Amino acid sequence: RKGERPGVIKKQKVPSQKLVTPELELVFLLLNHPFLYREHQDAISTAFFSDTEAALPIFEAFLKSLSENGLNESLLYSFLPEAVEDAVQKALSDKRYQMAPEKQFQDLLIFLRLAHIKEQKKQVMEELQSAESAENWEKVRELLQEGQSLGALEEKLEKERQG
């Protein structure tokens, strides 16, 4: 090719950071605003996280390094897996986590709850098909009720999300 030297291999650009998932966004927001966790402890726990490679270990380190005075950053880093230290360091200085933290927190919680409900509905549908095939009508009735409850909850959260 024109302008390229023979025998020289061009370096490919490699993304420096994995895509930030909503779970990571939530954890990064909590790192920047520990008061959000204190105010909403009942809404979030380790069971909330399905990302066991990044979000969950960071959240666990966050919990261990949280004190009445706020977040102890040196303690946080002592509990963090090395693989996520850079991402945490960047998140702690990222300005996007400084704007309207309460609204971001509520939006992320609703988004994650909706995703969880959709996953539950998918599982209910799979179980429903299986129960119908086996002609287990009691189970079908039970699953239909569960599906309706999930649908109502999903509708409520969608309304909350839209304001």
Which pLDDT value is given to residue 148?
92
CB 161 within 8 A of CB 111: yes
Neighbours of 73 (CB within 10 A): 13
Burial 97-124 (b: 16+ CB within 10 A, else e): beeeeeebbbbbbebbbbeebeebbeeb
| Residue 4 scores a pLDDT above 80 | no
Packing angle of the helix pair 22-32, 85-92 (nearest 10 deg) = 60
Which pLDDT value is given to residue 18?
53
pLDDT, tens digit (0-9, with 9 covering 90-100), for 124-150: 999 999 999 999 999 999 999 999 999
pLDDT, tens digit (0-9, with 9 covering 90-100), for 26-71: 999 999 999 999 999 888 888 888 888 899 999 999 999 998 888 9
| Residue 6 scores a pLDDT above 60 | no
| Residue 118 scores a pLDDT above 70 | yes
| Residue 105 scores a pLDDT above 90 | yes
Q: How far is CA 138 from the centre of its chain?
A: 35
| Residue 16 scores a pLDDT above 70 | no
Going by pLDDT thresholds of 50, 70 and 90, the confidence category of residue 91 is: very high
Which pLDDT value is given to residue 46?
87
| Residue 83 scores a pLDDT above 60 | yes
pLDDT over 90, % of the chain: 62
Q: Where are the beta strands (DSSP E) in the chain?
A: 66-67, 70-71
